[in-house]
Amino acid sequence: MTATIIDGKAFAAKVRGQVAEHVARLKAENGITPGLAVVLVGEDPASEVYVKSKGKQTVEVGMNSYEHKLPAETSEADLLALIDRLNKDAAVHGILVQLPLPGHLNSDLVINAIDPAKDVDGFHISNVGLLGTGQKSMVPCTPLGCLMMLRDHLGALSGMNAVVVGRSNIVGKPMAQLLLGDSCTVTIAHSRTKDLAGVCRQADILVAAVGRPEMIPGDWVKPGATVIDVGINRIERDGKNKLVGDVDFASAVEVAGAITPVPGGV
């Protein structure tokens, strides 16, 4: 069997269309134009690409985009002062501080300085706590996108065995909370899990978010399982740079019922 390919690019385009409709309605009915402020400290090339993409997509759906690019040597006090100004700015409805920050800045301190109601990344400790207790919260976008794709492909997830490989605060832990919220039976696995292959083979839903290229081969995948590959790793193969996921796509696509490609998936 060959798995159904879950087209994340097409799904994202559909979501952006829905967001644009919501924004237009907010403007028409309430006179509000949502504004997203993105803060970039330093010149990390990957972060610059992300910030540019976020700004472009914000404007495309009819929102206001406010970009704040700060030099790498910016002090913690100056960064916190900027966040304080954005917290108080009525035109700014969402604040996103691009990670990773330069080493001299305390990421936890910076993230927790953001007004939780404007914390669109969902990383503030208040939002983490709300998510963990099943209350309404801001949710990290990557796991939420994964959940939306799973619901779109599978419908109800209730009762399914879900295995999340990876325990990061950005993807693994919130992904597990979201799947629990949809009544899955959830296991968080990681590099120290005993018999990781055996654990993965129990999964109706397998979410790979470990940051290791092609770590999960096809024979770790339960036949017919839905595989969501969050990993994006740059490797060299046959003398060329290539992007690959945390799952070995070539072998997994022969076993899974559905799978996200890399790139073009999550």
Catalytically active residues, by annotation = 54, 98, 121
Handedness of CA 221, 224, 229, 235 (dihedral sign): positive
DSSP H or E run through 235: strand 233-237
Tell me the DSSP string of 20-46: HHHHHHHHHHH----EEEEEEES--HH
Single-letter residue type at 36? L
In sequence order, what DSSP letters do the residues of 111-126 get, joined into one string?
HTTS-GGGBTT--SHH
Rounded to whole angstroms, the Cα distance separating 147 from 175 reads 8
Which secondary-structure segment (H or E) carries 196?
helix 196-200
Contacts of 178 (CB under 8 A, 6+ apart): 131, 139, 143, 144, 146, 147
Whole-angstrom distance, CA of residue 23 vs CA of residue 35: 10
State the Cα–Cα distance between residues 33 and 26, nearest whole angstrom: 7
**Among 228, 230, 106, 233, which residue's Cα sits nearest to residue 171?**
230
Cis bond before residue 34 (omega within 30° of 0): no
Joined together, the tokens standing for residue 78 give: 């100056």
